[in-house]
Each structure stands twice: as C-alpha cells, then as structure tokens.
Amino acid sequence: MSAAAGTAMHRSAPNVYFFATCVIDMFAPDAGIDAIDVLERSGVTVHVPLRQTCCGQPAYTTGFPEEAAKVAAAQLDLFPEPWPIVVPSGSCCGMLKHHWPKLFANDPLRLAKAEGIAARTIEFTDYLLNVADLNLAHARRSPLRVALHTACSARREMGTLECGRALLQRLPGVELVVQAHEFECCGFGGTFSVKHPEISAAMTSDKLDAIRATGCDAMVSADCGCLLSLNLMLEKRREPQRGRHIASLIRERLDASAGEGAGR
C-alpha cells in the first residue's frame, strides 16, 4: 500500500449530501440506491436530506420561474454543512449549479444561499471520477460493450461526457462504443416531450436506432430524464433492452467481482 493511500485511511471519512431528484424518487429508485452504494464503496458517508423534493427545472424551463423559485426556496436550508452536494442526474445538477442563483437575482439573502449551494453542487460521475477515491480495477472483467448517453445541458454546462467516458474506461472489460450523432439530443427535453410529442418521439427514436446500431450490450447514462424517455419508448416498441444509470452498471460490476472473490 502506498503512503498516500495509508494516510487517506486515517483521514476522517468525507461526507456528501445526496440530492436524489424527483424522477429518481418516483420513477427510478434503483439509480438512486445504486449511486449511494457506489459512493459508500468509495469511502464516503452519504447524507440524504429527506425534506428535498425537486430541483424545479420542469417549471423553470416551461416559463414558470416563479413557481420554480418557490420550490427551490423551500430547499435552500437543507444543506447546512460545507459538504459537496452530489446529484445523480445531470440536468437536475445543472439546475442547482447554474440556475438556482438566477432564480434569486433580486433576493440577496436567498441568492447568497443559492450561490453557496451552486458552488458545492457536483454531478455524480464528476464526483466519482475527480473527487472520490473509488478503485474500479478489481471490478468484474467479463467483456461488455457499453454505449453512453449524456444529457445535453449537463454535457454542455459541466462536461459530463468526459467524466462518464473516463469512468467506463476504468471499468475492466468494458469497451466504450460511440453511437452516431452522439452529441444530438435524445428528444426528452422535459415538457417539450409533451408539448411537441411527435418531434420529441422522432428524436428519441433516432437516438435509440443510433445506439442499437453500435451493437452494444448495454446502454448507460447519468441522466434519469433521458433514460425514462428512452426506456419507455423501448417498452412501447416491445423491445427487451433497457438503459440503466451508470451507477447501476458500476455497482453490478463491483458486486460480481465480490461474488467471484467469495467463490474462490
């Protein structure tokens, strides 16, 4: 063991807040639980403030910023300690990080709180890659071809594509495959998918076709809105594949290796 790793063991375990997002709470609980599991394996203590609800993005982007501000305002005091706030869904993370301060431009007290939160907010794959000390070298080694989809706003605001790619490349046996038009939106776009369902569906359908054309074994993302839209279209098409949160893949690969180890 290196000296650096030794001192890391003696340091008190880092703490993080976990902002689960309403989509994970109601529609994709596996993603949230798996993300917490993976964070804990990296030696982090995860705190989940139970009074959290939604980042407010749906109202904000639909033209009701006042409603979004009220929902955000109710959550400004949930993160009192100076710990990072990890968000397992890219666009929600961007909402806290880049748009919460905009909601309180005319409210200095709340603005200060929102800015404090924004400065500590970090997207899950970013945290895992650049802050946490998670060893993936011993994960399961069986070959797996994986396609990665990143939410557009998160990719453009926070460079999550590079984080996601780097994480997948650290997983032994995993081969990253890249779909055509990788940078193109999957068509979810929140209320866009309801207000303009035909256009949205055409985009989602093209995204699924591009991913399928890679011949991948698995599709992952760190964005539960996109995943919901992609998966429910797959369900409607009666196709068996489903995309998963990248945390679920990482957890599965780590679990399988633990299983292999125990069997030996």
Partner 1 sequence: MHAEAPIKLADFHANARAALNDPKLRDSFSGAMDFLIERRARQFPDPAAFEQLRRVGEAVRQHALARLPELLVQLEERLTALGVQVHWAETAADANAIFLDLARRHDAQLMVKGKSMVSEEIELNHAMAAQGIDCVETDMGEYILQLDGDRPSHIIMPAIHKTKRDVAEIFHEHIDGAPLTDDVNELIAIGRRALRDKFASARIGVSGVNFMVAETGSLVLVENEGNGRLCTSVPDVHIAITGIEKVIEKLEHVAPLFALLTRSATGQAITTYLNVLTGPRRPGEKDGPREMHLILLDNGRTQAYREQRFRATLQCIRCGACMNHCPVYTRIGGLSYGTTYPGPIGAIISPHLQSLHETRDLPTASSLCGACGEVCPVGIPIPDLLMRLREAGRHSVAQSATPPQQALRGQGEVRQWAEALAWKAWRLLYSHPVLYRLLVWFAARLNWLTPPWQGGWTLARAPLRPAPQSFRDRLAQRRQQRR
**Could you list the residues that contact partner 1 (CB under 8 A)?**
20, 22, 24-29, 32-33, 36, 48, 50-54, 56, 58-67, 69-71, 73-74, 152-153, 156-157, 183-185, 187-205, 228-229, 232-233, 235-236
Task: Tell me which residue of 214, 161, 198, 202 sits closest to 183, measured CA to CA.
Answer: 161
Of the pair 144, 230, the CB lying nearest partner 1 is at 230
| Shortest Å, Cβ 69 to partner 1 | 8
Of the pair 70, 138, the CB lying nearest partner 1 is at 70
CA atoms within 13 A on the CB side of 176: 17
C-alpha span between 128 and 35 (Å, rounded): 10
**Residue bearing tokens 């109710």:** 74
| Shortest Å, Cβ 173 to partner 1 | 28
**What distances in angstroms separate CA 224 from CA 33, 87, 142, 212, one per listed residue?**
13, 11, 26, 19
Of the pair 141, 196, the CB lying nearest partner 1 is at 196
Which is it for the CA torsion 24, 175, 200, 209, positive or negative? Answer: negative
Rounded to the nearest 5°, which phi and psi values hold at 57? -60, -40
Element holding 89 (H helix, E strand) = none
Of the pair 10, 238, the CB lying nearest partner 1 is at 238
Cβ-contact 166, 129 below 8 angstroms = yes
| Shortest Å, Cβ 224 to partner 1 | 11
Of the pair 138, 195, the CB lying nearest partner 1 is at 195
- Cα 228 versus chain centre, distance: 13
| Shortest Å, Cβ 193 to partner 1 | 6
| Shortest Å, Cβ 31 to partner 1 | 8
Of the pair 77, 175, the CB lying nearest partner 1 is at 77
C-alpha span between 150 and 155 (Å, rounded): 6
| Shortest Å, Cβ 210 to partner 1 | 12
Task: Say what the alpha-carbon torsion angle 233, 237, 239, 242 is, to the nearest 10 degrees.
Answer: 10
| Shortest Å, Cβ 195 to partner 1 | 5
C-alpha span between 183 and 132 (Å, rounded): 27
Of the pair 22, 171, the CB lying nearest partner 1 is at 22
